[in-house]
Amino acid sequence: MGFSTRQIHAGVTPDPLTGSILTPIYQTTTYVQPSVDEYMTKGFTYSRSGNPTVRALELKLTDLEGGIDCSCFGTGMAAVQGVMLAFLNAGDHAVISDVAYGGTYRLCTKVLSRFGVEFTFADGSDPEAVAAAVRDNTKLFLTETPANPTMKCSDIAAISAIAKKAGAVHAVDNTFLTPYYQRPLEMGADMSIHSTTKYMDGHNATVGGAVISATAEHGDAVRFIQNSTGSIMSPQVAWLTLQGCKTLSLRMDQQSANAMAIAQFLEAHPKVEQVCYPGLESFAQHELAKRQASGYGAMLWFEVKGGLEAGKKLMDAVEIWSLAENLGSVESLITHPVTMTHADVEEAERARVGIIDGLVRLSAGLEDVEDLIDALDKALDQV
Ligand SMILES: Cc1ncc(COP(=O)(O)O)c(C=O)c1O
């Protein structure tokens, strides 16, 4: 069946007790067992180890990504951590995209490094640089593509092949494009990671995460960490995310069309120094973006002539666009990564990977695109 049919129906069946078309919020800690010998016959024992509402979302995401299993987490960062704890031990090494969400970089450099895990941040747009980073103890590759915030794209199939040769697992953070546009497991990756906070929810209502695995073995390894660390998603969050998923394809298409129109407007504006959107022909990995995904997504960035000071003026002046951390929601958001989402990445590292001070990140929402463009136009007038 097609994606839009599956995003509505996969994982969900009418409630057997009442016929409720929506999976109920199973707000419970525990599940009464019929007898000691018939333990877990209904599949649930205790809500840290599994909850029917959360399970419905896990089944839906498994279907949408074309995987075998999924574990949902309390946040996207808990999902990233779940993968790292499942596949890395003290003394191991991991190769991470050199541009990634600031929280992923912080988890590697400030938390897991304390437990004897080593990291190399390699240029994912250059498979040779990724291959050159491999060591005897490399156990995990994590690719974020397109990357937050520079939008750098990495070749998923090429990195999956490098990981296989190295005997390591390959996880892809697929938050920016979602399985509607990009399916890493079909390109050879072992796992797809999401901050469901973004497009899966889509309404700025929740924080959550998910890891979808291509094999039962990897799925079990991630679920073991989810249960052992207690990094679970709540039934309320799962319920809201289940509703959000039902309109994913519609939102992605419209938000991406809005992003394209905004990128074209900015590219032609005399006060704009540069615009970066995978759908523009001027984008460095435009051909790769076109080849490995069926859409370009709704994230872009630009730099105003005059750099940081001009960018700050614009962000303070602009209407409709809310100055906030997050992305992927129906509300359009404007963000300054250097002081917000990537503030914990050291200045030298930011400079190395192209997170420039004047970078203004946009998450195109679902408002009328004429209004979004008009608001940016008026703010640019004030710069
Ligand atoms: C690409 C990406 N991965 C992971 C995360 C972390 O997700 P969360 O904020 O839900 O923990 C984010 C958050 O912005 C992100 O942009």
Q: How many angstroms separate the alpha carbon of residue 37 from the centre of ligand 1?
A: 43
- 60: three-class secondary structure by DSSP: helix
What's the pLDDT at 7?
98
Residue range 236-266, pLDDT digits in tens: 999 999 999 999 999 999 999 999 999 999 9
Top mutation candidate among 148, 194, 344 for ligand 1, by most atoms within 8 Å of CB: 148
Q: DSSP of 187-212, one letter per residue?
A: GT-SEEEEETTTTTT-SS----EEEE
Active-site residue, 26 included? no
> Which residue has the CA at smallest separation from atom 10 of ligand 1?
76
Strands 93-97 and 138-144: parallel
Q: Please enumerate in sequence order all residues whose Cβ is within 8 A of that of 155, keeping only pairs 6 or more positions apart, or say none.
A: 124, 125, 127, 288, 292
What ligand 1 atom has the least distance to the C-alpha of 100?
1
The values of phi and psi at residue 156, to 5°, are -60, -45
* Ligand 1 pocket list (CB less than 6 A): 75-77, 80, 101, 103, 144, 148, 173, 175, 195, 197, 207, 209
DSSP state of 115: G
Report the CATH architecture of 248-381: Alpha-Beta Complex (3.90)
Residue range 143-159, pLDDT digits in tens: 999 999 999 999 999 99
Query: Residue range 67-78: average pLDDT?
Result: 98
What's the pLDDT at 324?
97
Q: Give me the numbers of helices (H) and strands (E) for the chain, helices first please.
A: 14, 12
For residue 282, the one-letter residue type is S
Q: Where are the domains of the chain?
A: 3-245, 248-381
Q: Domain spanning 3-245 has what CATH number?
A: 3.40.640.10
Which among 77, 115, 74 is positioned nearest to 94, based on CA atoms?
115
Q: Which of 101, 180, 277, 296 is catalytic?
A: 101
At residue 202 the predicted structure's pLDDT band, cuts being 50, 70 and 90, is very high
Q: How many angstroms separate the alpha carbon of residue 6 from the centre of ligand 1?
A: 24
Q: Which of 6, 48, 164, 290 is catalytic?
A: 48
Q: Give the span between the Cα atoms of 246 and 249, in whole angstroms.
A: 8
At residue 353 the predicted structure's pLDDT band, cuts being 50, 70 and 90, is very high
Q: How many angstroms separate the alpha carbon of residue 177 from the centre of ligand 1?
A: 13
Query: Residue range 9-15: average pLDDT?
Result: 96
- Answer whether 3-245 and 248-381 agree in fold: no
At residue 294 the predicted structure's pLDDT band, cuts being 50, 70 and 90, is very high
184 preceded by cis ω (within 30°)? no
What is the pTM (predicted TM-score) of this model? Answer: 0.98
What ligand 1 atom has the least distance to the C-alpha of 198?
10
> Which residue has the CA at smallest separation from atom 2 of ligand 1?
101
Q: Which of 63, 173, 190, 201 is catalytic?
A: 173
Q: Which of 152, 198, 251, 361 is catalytic?
A: 198
What's the pLDDT at 140?
98
Q: How many angstroms separate the alpha carbon of residue 229 from the centre of ligand 1?
A: 19
Top mutation candidate among 195, 211, 362 for ligand 1, by most atoms within 8 Å of CB: 195
Residue 283's Cβ-side half-sphere holds a number of Cα atoms within 13 Å equal to 26
149 preceded by cis ω (within 30°)? yes
At residue 186 the predicted structure's pLDDT band, cuts being 50, 70 and 90, is very high
Provide the residue count of the chain.
Answer: 383
What's the pLDDT at 351?
93
Residue range 98-131, pLDDT digits in tens: 999 999 999 999 999 999 999 999 999 999 999 9
Q: How many angstroms separate the alpha carbon of residue 101 from the centre of ligand 1?
A: 6
